[in-house]
Chains A and B, each alone.
Chain A
Amino acid sequence: MDGEDRPLFERTLRKATAQQTGAALDAALDQLGWGDALSTDPRSAVSLLFALQGAANATSSALGQVFAHSLGVGSGTGLVLPPIGCWDPPGTVEDDHLVVHGLGPSSLARLDSLVVVATMGEGTVGISVPAPSLVLRPVEGIDPDLSLLEVTGRCVLTDEAPGPIAGHWSTALALGRLAVAHELVGASRAMLDLACEHARNRIQFKRPIGSFQAIRHRLAETLVGIDMADAILDAAWLDRSPGTAAMAKAVAGRQARTAARHCQQVLAGIGFTTEHPLHHSIRRTLVLDALLGNAPSLTRALGTEVISSSRLPALPPL
């Protein structure tokens, strides 16, 4: 995407995510050709949509589409994602059974069949499963607005042997982690905007509270974290390695928790009420951090790998 296309695309996405959510946002994304953009310019499609979706606290089926696109399975919809906190494929083939434990957007409930990526022996396969043979539980959880479904089931495989998938799970996972990291950054920026506005307008001791260093330094620290996540995302798009994508997801998750803590403290009483929108972003970042591996588990995995190999990952070159 070059020249004037990108700002135009961004404006269209901004409008769609600000006005629509859920099924309506899916329809809007279809109409504006987001799926085509995902094929031709994945970086623009993923980074722009997910940052805006995070900022607007909107939901869509786009994360499943990112996985499906990378794996080359299904028509783009109906893909089951790993369960919360996990990152292995959501299915396992045991003898002639498929065991499924995963998550998905509410749009899965409207489909006749779902696509489950499953581990089978040493390989990874994609299996189309009729919806009635799976249990879809609407998730309330800490962020009910996310309208997730928990997908579980144990079903007998039909005679047809499951087909191998075109792409690699690790590549799809990396792209999915970049998407969620951008969404975390978008939600963090939204929290920071709310807190800064409050810090400028709220007067205490005859001064805006933003003139007190205790407040300023918390908010400055929040911006440092956000920009840090953006920088590592930039590096991850350049090298496209699963390792850098995992680092970006971990940094984005950790800084979002920091942003939530600082912004909630600055917004104080009003930020703790449901009259104020802050709680939506706090709830969203908690779930997004946990999705596809939270910051502590990804960070520990990185440290463990470096200790066993004795090799630090190379720094981004010029």
Chain B
Amino acid sequence: MATHMAEPAAGETEATTENLTLEDQVWLLRAMLLMRGLEERAMTLYRQGKVPGSFYDGFGQEAVSAGAAFAMAPEDRLCILHRDLAAHIIRGVTPERILAQYMGRAAGITAGRDGNVHFGDRNLGCVGMVSMLPDMMLIATGMAMAFKLRGERRCALTWFGDGSTSRGDFHEAMNWAGVQKLPVVFVLENNQYAYSTPLDKQFAVDPVERAAAYGFAGVTVDGNDVEAMFEATRAARERAIGGGGPTLIEAVTMRMHGHAAHDDMKYVPKEQVEEWRKRDPVDRQEKRLGDLGVDIEALRADVKAEIDAAAETALSSPMPDPAGAVDGVFCEGEAEPLGDGVARWSGFSQKAVA
């Protein structure tokens, strides 16, 4: 059964360039390259002892966050999980802040209060995750509830994994969003394993079927095709802001690294990893754009230079002042809501509007 569910349901949501300019397509690749390059750099820093705690990455899953986040407007709101770094990049978080965050530096997004990918830049419309992952589905549902109450054409989106589908908050959020027909997009990042637990120990039905059980649409998407992810999310957002209610997008992908840096993944058959390596999302987008005449080597060099500069800045930035460890538990001033993020898709950008 696990094998069956691991196969992307071909044909349900095909990649299409109908809504993407070449510049958009390049941006999608750039976000994925930045995610991969930053995570590789952070892993090196981890091995050098410069990243405290453990280290989690989304190697092989870059298309899921890049494609979905790209379809979101500045005024939309996102709950971003730990294998979704590309979403932060698309919303406008700079590489040096990301590396500073991994290293627990003052310049990190949480200024050292939380680690690794546990962050969300509130000024960019993002709520940072907690470790109880499907909790964030209710946060996204609540944001969507507010949008609907106020009659705003906005949408909320959250990612979560296959393991999350077993928790109560997944079901409470799916039910709530279905009952109230809310403008929310749920992206189920099915990467085959929750830590070491395979899909057949997690659910007895294909999880995308759960959408129908809660009264809304569910689609399965090739999670390793960034343009397919974009298109599925763009359609889900259209449905959401048009009053058509939530969508569950099951993005089928593979966690190519261990749960975290310490995990040797010995529970994953080698053939499974090899099979998925052939579907690498970065390779696929590079091939697609190379065929369109994009200079991939130049783009790679550009991204690498950006990461090198970011690492230098982050490494020279100070650790947080221990005297501040007990500050900021409570908000002392006015409660300020989330701000708008950067939305790079030409469909939202100023250039396209003009």
> Do these two chains interact?
no
> Which residues of B approach A to under 8 Å, CB–CB?
none
